[in-house]
Amino acid sequence: MSIPAAPPKRESFLAFSPPALTEEEIAEVVDTLRSDWITTGPKARRFEQEFGAYLQAPAALALNSCTAGLHVALATLGIGPGDEVITTPMTFVASVNVIEHVGARPVLVDVEPDTLNIDPLQVERAITPRTRAILPVHFTGHPVELDPIQALAAQHSLHVVEDAAHALPASYRGRAIGSSSNPTAFSFYATKNLTTAEGGMLTGDPEFLDRARVISLHGMNRDAWRRYDRGASWFYEVTAPGFKYNLTDIQAALGLVQLRRLDGMQARRRALVARYLDAFAGEEALVLPVERAHVEHAWHLFVIRLRHDLLTIERNQFIEELTELNIGSSVHFIPVHLHPYYRDRYQMAPQDLPMAHGAYEAMLSLPLNARMSDTDQEDVIAAVQYLLRVHRR
């Protein structure tokens, strides 16, 4: 059998997920730099209000990361030593680190085979008298099955804290992720669908976020803007030993423009996803991502899984050969229970969570971002199809 001809190598490397910024973002940042306020101030507050309105959230709190949002949420709920929080291994480790930060015990349960989101049946089996909260992660932007998780939370008097780092904008049964009363943390990291370079947002009930706001800034009852603005009082009190998690107005300037552009950027993402799905529909050696009928996927990531029974190539070599063709890719994520800290601390073996481990060994994320051109995507499709044919059993 003849070996298929390799596609032409790109002249330049195709980055996996560069930020989609325009002159409008640059102008807004410059406007901030020329103002009297560059740290947390009027633009950060505007960003909170406009972000909350976009999601129809009860309220929003701008922070310096999604990690900060999760940490502040757990601390505000009073979760600590002796408590257990059920969560997923299929996430960036920050989702689980914050449970350790408050002194609680993370309980990892396996994921669903199609979405790779936390499995509600596994959650139910893991609940003990020590369980205080469930922390689901909307992996790749596909919403978790929230109805059964909310039902379990109500039955056992548990909190639900959502990690929506990937899930802007996404919806579950017609409701935007972040629009409920659950504390929900979003990420605006450089690769995200909306970026402020670094940054995040926590949504939830106004009274809850009032307490979270204090904890997020040293436990002070008044922030700097309210102390240094014209006519403001210098006086403040510390009511809790809080953190330093505020978002600056420079970052908020990026967020304000990105939020206005978000629908257009999402339309581009969805067009790229549709094209990927169409191009790879007949590839038996791939497991493609899904979108269940009752959700709207944010498509932060496009994760494919290789069927090793049909291929002579392993995932790591597949990534290396894509790189040789100047195509960037990544892996999302190394399951938490494989990292030495969690593996050793909780005595976990890879096969303790077989679905997460099996998916990890087969998965890679293809380039997907609002800056991606049709030509860029054609290069990715051609490279993937070429490698599948060359390495087919």
The catalytic residue positions are 192
Distance CA 53, CA 111 (A): 32
Distance CA 103, CA 100 (A): 5
SS3 208: helix
What tokens does 258 get?
């990105």
Distance CA 208, CA 61 (A): 10
Number of H helices, E strands in the chain: 13, 14
Distance CA 390, CA 359 (A): 23
Residue 131: closest CA among 174, 59, 77, 201: 77
Distance CA 303, CA 286 (A): 10
- Rg of the chain on CA atoms, in Å: 22
Do you know the residue count of the chain? 393
- 321: CB partners within 8 A, 6+ apart: 313, 387
**To which residue do tokens 């990361």 refer?**
65
**To which residue do tokens 């757990």 refer?**
74
SS3 199: coil
Residue 126 exposed, middle or buried by CB count within 10 Å (0-12, 13-18, 19+): middle
Are β-strands 286-287 and 302-306 bridged in parallel, bridged antiparallel, or unpaired? antiparallel
CA distances from 52 to 72, 201, 259 (A): 18, 9, 11
- The amino acid sitting at 90 is M
CA distances from 65 to 123, 216, 244 (A): 26, 11, 11
